């Protein structure tokens, strides 16, 4: 049996220990209150700057205005939670965090949504991000502007390219005409022409190098759809998508469609293009036939994807091909329905493939006769040996037939697709 005195002593110790803890807590609270009060009174803790981080498309000024944190407010009294809730109402904001940067600054770190596509649904264009969240419902004149801008017009692109080529040909012909005049000045002009041609070659090489560098820079970027204008009237550089109807398009919510598989495939394609650096260069996606999906790059490269499977790999291979093997002015069909990419002129019938890159056999020897590039031939040796008009006529006939055969081969070569 316990001694009553010992039990009483233990009780007193517990009571004294509890009082000590409570006293310590009270003292700490009082000290904290004093420090807090002092900080409220010290001008050094008054906010002098509110700044944003992570913005690409949104305006920092708009975000700061929405946060409604005024300069001069004590940093401890700033309504961080209310500012965050207000900023999150912007459908373009994926997430936002506010940090107090002592002694007198507020940092607003914003994570923006990545615009993926304008989905043409009825008469409106619905801007969605790569996660399927609706950013904006675009209607009226702005919607019409997006449709007009992004709908492919290969014929106009072709005409523009041909006009540029004609102007270049005229300038070259004029230069050659000037260089061919003047007796003793011919050598000087020829030398000047050679120097000019060399300069043009260097300039062309430099231009091609710049095109490649620009394409690589586009690929190296974050791929997010950039906007052309600031504010609410921004039109983002993302593709117009047709062939799918949305059943729900509430801003800030995930878009829905009766054909959910097609909608999921759209986001898969957009994410693959974004990772490959091609999303903000894409202008059009047609999902009408899921076994023959088309995408358009820069309103000039018509990409035939067929069934859009394994898009993560295919988009990167497509980007590498466009950046390294296609100039910035070519208007082509890129057939990527199989494992390889084939380039051919567009279906308007106007050949824009550089035939100089193709190797054709235009020099052919048959029975001692040499054929020229235009298919004509000479039979000097046979004529000299026989000296008869019959042999000459027979030789001319043979050479004419051979020339026609080469012409047909050359035409077939020019008409074939070019594998990149």
- Pair 49, 124 in one domain: no
**pLDDT at residue 166, as a whole number:** 55
Please report whether residue 243 resides in a domain.
yes
- Pair 84, 99 in one domain: yes
Q: What is the DSSP string of 27-47?
A: HHHHHHHHHHHHHHH-GGGB-
Please report whether residue 403 resides in a domain.
yes
pLDDT above 90 for 167: no
Summarize pLDDT for 237-284 with one digit per residue, the tens. 999 999 999 999 999 999 999 999 999 999 999 999 999 999 999 999
**pLDDT at residue 263, as a whole number:** 96
Of 136-145, 182-191, 309-318, minimum mean pLDDT range: 182-191
Task: Give dist(CA 286, CA 240) in Å, integer.
Answer: 8
- Pair 154, 260 in one domain: yes
**pLDDT at residue 11, as a whole number:** 58
Summarize pLDDT for 64-104 with one digit per residue, the tens. 999 999 999 999 999 999 999 999 999 999 999 999 999 99
Task: Give dist(CA 8, CA 419) in Å, integer.
Answer: 98
**pLDDT at residue 327, as a whole number:** 92
Please report whether residue 14 resides in a domain.
no
Per-residue pLDDT averaged across 142-154, rounded?
A: 92
**pLDDT at residue 303, as a whole number:** 96
- Pair 144, 156 in one domain: yes
Summarize pLDDT for 363-408 with one digit per residue, the tens. 434 344 444 444 444 444 344 344 444 444 445 445 555 555 554 5
**pLDDT at residue 3, as a whole number:** 61
**pLDDT at residue 32, as a whole number:** 78
pLDDT above 50 for 177: no
- Pair 135, 277 in one domain: yes
Please report whether residue 69 resides in a domain.
yes
Per-residue pLDDT averaged across 14-25, rounded?
A: 70
User: Do the beta carbons of residue 293 and residue 308 sit within 8 Å?
Assistant: yes
Final residue of a domain: which of 351, 386, 404?
351
- Pair 246, 101 in one domain: no
- Pair 68, 125 in one domain: no
How many domains is the chain partitioned into structurally? 3
Tokens 């204008």 map to which residue?
Answer: 229
Per-residue pLDDT averaged across 312-334, rounded?
A: 94
Q: Residues of the chain with pLDDT > 90: what percent?
A: 50
**pLDDT at residue 37, as a whole number:** 74
Specify the pTM: 0.65
User: Do the beta carbons of residue 264 and residue 276 sit within 8 Å?
Assistant: no
Tokens 């700033």 map to which residue?
Answer: 78
- Pair 307, 255 in one domain: yes
Please report whether residue 172 resides in a domain.
no
Q: How confident is the model at residue 297 (pLDDT cuts 50, 70, 90)?
A: very high
Averaged pLDDT score across all residues of the chain: 75
**pLDDT at residue 10, as a whole number:** 60
User: Which residues form the domain of 57?
Assistant: 44-112
Per DSSP, 251 falls in state T
- Pair 230, 374 in one domain: no
User: Do the beta carbons of residue 92 and residue 128 sit within 8 Å?
Assistant: no
Of 45-49, 317-321, 388-392, minimum mean pLDDT range: 388-392
Task: Give dist(CA 149, CA 172) in Å, integer.
Answer: 34
Torsion 148-149-155-156 (CA) sign: positive
- Pair 149, 250 in one domain: yes
Higher pLDDT, 420 or 310: 310
**pLDDT at residue 132, as a whole number:** 95
- Pair 98, 118 in one domain: no
CATH number of the domain encompassing residue 96: 3.10.20.310
**pLDDT at residue 159, as a whole number:** 57
Please report whether residue 223 resides in a domain.
yes
- Pair 336, 283 in one domain: yes
């Amino acid at each position: 049996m316990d001694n009553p005195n010992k039990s009483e002593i233990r009780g007193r110790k517990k009571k004294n220990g509890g009082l000590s803890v409570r006293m310590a807590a009270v003292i700490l609270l009082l000290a904290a209150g004093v420090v807090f009060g002092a900080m409220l009174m010290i001008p050094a803790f008054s906010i002098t700057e509110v700044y944003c981080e992570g913005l690409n498309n949104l305006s920092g000024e708009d975000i700061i205005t929405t946060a409604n944190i005024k300069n001069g407010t004590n940093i401890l009294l700033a309504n961080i939670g209310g500012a965050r809730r207000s900023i999150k109402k912007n459908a373009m904001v994926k997430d936002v965090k506010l940090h107090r940067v002592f002694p007198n600054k507020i940092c607003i770190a914003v994570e923006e949504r990545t615009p993926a596509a304008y989905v043409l649904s009825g008469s409106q264009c619905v801007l969605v991000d790569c996660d399927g969240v609706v950013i904006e419902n675009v209607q009226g004149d702005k919607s019409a502007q997006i449709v007009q801008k992004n709908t492919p017009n290969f014929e106009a692109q072709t005409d523009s390219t041909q006009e540029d080529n004609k102007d270049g040909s005229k300038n070259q012909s004029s230069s050659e005409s000037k260089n061919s005049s003047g007796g003793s000045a011919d050598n000087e002009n020829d030398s000047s022409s050679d120097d000019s041609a060399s300069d043009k070659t260097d300039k062309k090489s430099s231009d091609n190098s710049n095109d490649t560098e620009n394409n690589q820079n586009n690929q190296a970027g974050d791929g997010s759809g950039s906007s052309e204008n600031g504010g609410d009237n921004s039109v983002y550089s993302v593709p117009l998508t047709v062939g799918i109807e949305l059943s729900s398009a509430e801003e800030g919510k995930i878009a829905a469609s009766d054909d959910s598989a097609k909608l999921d495939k759209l986001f898969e394609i957009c994410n693959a293009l974004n990772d490959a650096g091609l999303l903000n260069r894409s202008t059009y996606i047609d999902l009408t036939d899921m076994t023959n999906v088309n995408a358009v790059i820069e309103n000039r490269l018509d990409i035939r994807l067929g069934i859009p499977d394994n898009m993560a790999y295919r988009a990167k291979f497509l980007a590498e091909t466009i950046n390294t093997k296609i100039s910035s002015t070519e208007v082509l069909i890129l057939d990527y329905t199989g494992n390889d990419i084939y380039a051919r002129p567009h279906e308007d019938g106007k050949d824009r493939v550089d035939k100089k890159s193709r190797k054709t056999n235009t020099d052919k020897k048959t029975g001692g006769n040499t054929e020229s590039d235009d298919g004509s031939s000479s039979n000097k040796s046979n004529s000299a040996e026989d000296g008869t008009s019959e042999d000459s006529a027979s030789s001319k006939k043979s050479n004419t037939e051979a020339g026609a055969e080469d012409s047909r081969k050359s035409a077939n070569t020019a008409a074939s697709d070019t594998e990149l």
